Amino acid sequence: MLMDTHKRWQAIINRTLSDSELFFYGVLTTGVFCRPDCSSKLPKQDNVVFFNSIDEAKQAGYRACKRCHPESTTQNEKRIAQIISACRIIDQSEEKQTLEVLAKAVGLSTYHFQREFKKYVGISPLQYGRGVRTARFERLLTEHKSITDAIFASGYQSTTSAYQDNSLAMSPKVYRAGGKGVNIQFSIKSSKFGYVVIGVTKRGICAIHFADSPTLAEITLRERFPQADIQEADNDLQALIGATVAYIENPDSQCELPLDIQGTAFQQQVWQVLRSIRPGNTMTYSEVAQKLGKPTAFRAVASACANNKLAVVIPCHRVVGKSGKLTGYRWGVERKRALLENEKES
């Protein structure tokens, strides 16, 4: 969630401010603290200490730099600092925090806090907190803690809330077993863009993958879910399968497909932006990062695109290189070109 020491040092070297974290650094040999973008001579890394706030730097005995004036932060920077503070509270809390508590902690009204949090983070405080709890829960499960201990240690108030959390694509017990026993029904269809395999759980579509043959399509799905119980889709799912193929071939059609997919908070932000790109249009990785308010995160955006398991529905094919070049696509650059040309013709 927060920048590590290496990234903070890189920000100082590059003299850049990050929208994802506002911090300050102190220089041991001078007793002065600065902003990351200070134009002063670069200190030795061994002489640098980091602070999360101006108050923290002052309490440590450091005085403000007369060149970068760290106390003269802009309103935007102050708001970023407030939102980061709220993220820290959520990250570090062992209990679910209410909107009212978070807003009061950072000195904003509930209404403005909700609006500003979504503006800067890209998702609501509720979604962010759910992502933090889910990640913590999954980590604790893999550390062989009991399921009950993991539930409460992750910040859930009850076992029911953990099992009903929509961000979990399977029950805790099943997740701990590596997906063993999850029932996935699948169907392989021919489309304009080659064969497509569609996997569906009881919660919705969990996978849409392209392949060059029916055999490869099924192998791809089974490799994605190696311990799941995978069976061919029954007649009850044919309408959903048909609607999915229709959407792939004509994404301008109005079709709300039920999805069953997990992702980190950042991946969810990226995927939300991708779904806002109109069919036939494109954005660069840098533009997506800019829209998220994280202009330096274009590589992380590319990683989120690469981790997309729902072709076309989450349209990572609409993201291109800086020059407009069609760069890597997990299902092939030629298929990416065909998808975009099809959308422009529709």
Active site (catalytic) residues? 34, 316
Alpha carbons 176 and 147: distance in angstroms, whole number: 9
CA dihedral 337, 343, 344, 346 (to 10 degrees): 140
Reported residue count of the chain is 346
Alpha carbons 276 and 196: distance in angstroms, whole number: 23
Beta-bridge mates of residue 283: 319
| CA separation, residue 135 to residues 182, 210, 335 (Å) | 20, 29, 33
CA atoms within 13 A on the CB side of 217: 22
Which pairing describes strands 63-64 and 32-34: parallel, antiparallel, or unpaired?
Answer: parallel
Alpha carbons 150 and 134: distance in angstroms, whole number: 10
Neighbours of 231 (CB within 10 A): 10
